[in-house]
Amino acid sequence: MCPGDELGAFGVAPVPWHERLLAWILSLGPVPQSVGVIPDGNRRFAREHGITVDQGHVAGSHTLGRVGTWSSLVGVKESIIYVFSADNFRRPRSEQDGLFQEISRRCQYILENSDDFRKAGRRVRCVGDLELLPNDLQRFLARVDLATADNASDITANLIDGYTSLNDGASVQLLLRTSGETRLSDFLLWQSSHARLHFEPKNLPDIRFTDYLWALIEYQLQRPKLKVRPSS
């Protein structure tokens, strides 16, 4: 880990000084405490760039790492990522296996760098109907949950069940979806009922800091109009 780097959701992502400066300026305004992310567009990205679907998913997971880093820099306390949905089981078995392998690789990285995650205070929770996943992946997810359990701020990887409730009953203030799709796919419908919705036209691997920055600026501009859902 290079000096000054920040931990992303599933890895370490170097942050240029100008991004740090912009993130600090943005952190002076209202920042959503909980951000939901529906990552989409990995397969389209793969087709557009002439690479395999598996390589597209790897590129997308790297972007999620950067999103986690950016969220941490501006002061977001919890990032909830819709990693795998029940509908994904309809995809070819080879693609499912590729996704599971990439998730396993990210889990292995977290376990090998658990001290860095502890220093950064990043907890990684894996929630949903995990019993539907391969047994070896279930064990990986359980180890990651345990290894980061004492850390303060959350990155929640939501697998299978889009309806999963947040433990503290909190609401999602900002919900992002990539690839231009304008639907929520049943993801945290109750928790995001009063959230700012941002539908990013770019595919997930194409997302850059300026795209994330603009989503947060829109949130800050719209925040006075947003209602706060009472905790359950």
Report the Cα 131 to chain-centroid distance in Å. Answer: 21
87 classed as catalytic: no
40 classed as catalytic: yes
- Cβ count near 218 (within 10 Å): 14
Question: What's the CA gap between 191 and 7, in Å, rounded?
Answer: 26
Residue of 88, 116, 145, 211 marked catalytic: 88
Instruction: Give the DSSP per-residue string, 63-116.
Output: HHHHHHHHHHHHT--EEEEEEEEGGGGGS-HHHHHHHHHHHHHHHHHHHHTHHH
What number of CA atoms fall less than 13 Å from residue 28's CA on the CB side? 5
Q: Which residue from 171, 200, 169, 214 is spatially nearest to 74, judged by alpha carbons?
A: 214
Q: Which residue from 21, 20, 38 is spatially nearest to 174, judged by alpha carbons?
A: 38
Q: Which residue from 175, 156, 185 is spatially nearest to 86, judged by alpha carbons?
A: 185
Residue of 40, 154, 161, 206 marked catalytic: 40
> Hey, which residues are catalytic here?
40, 88
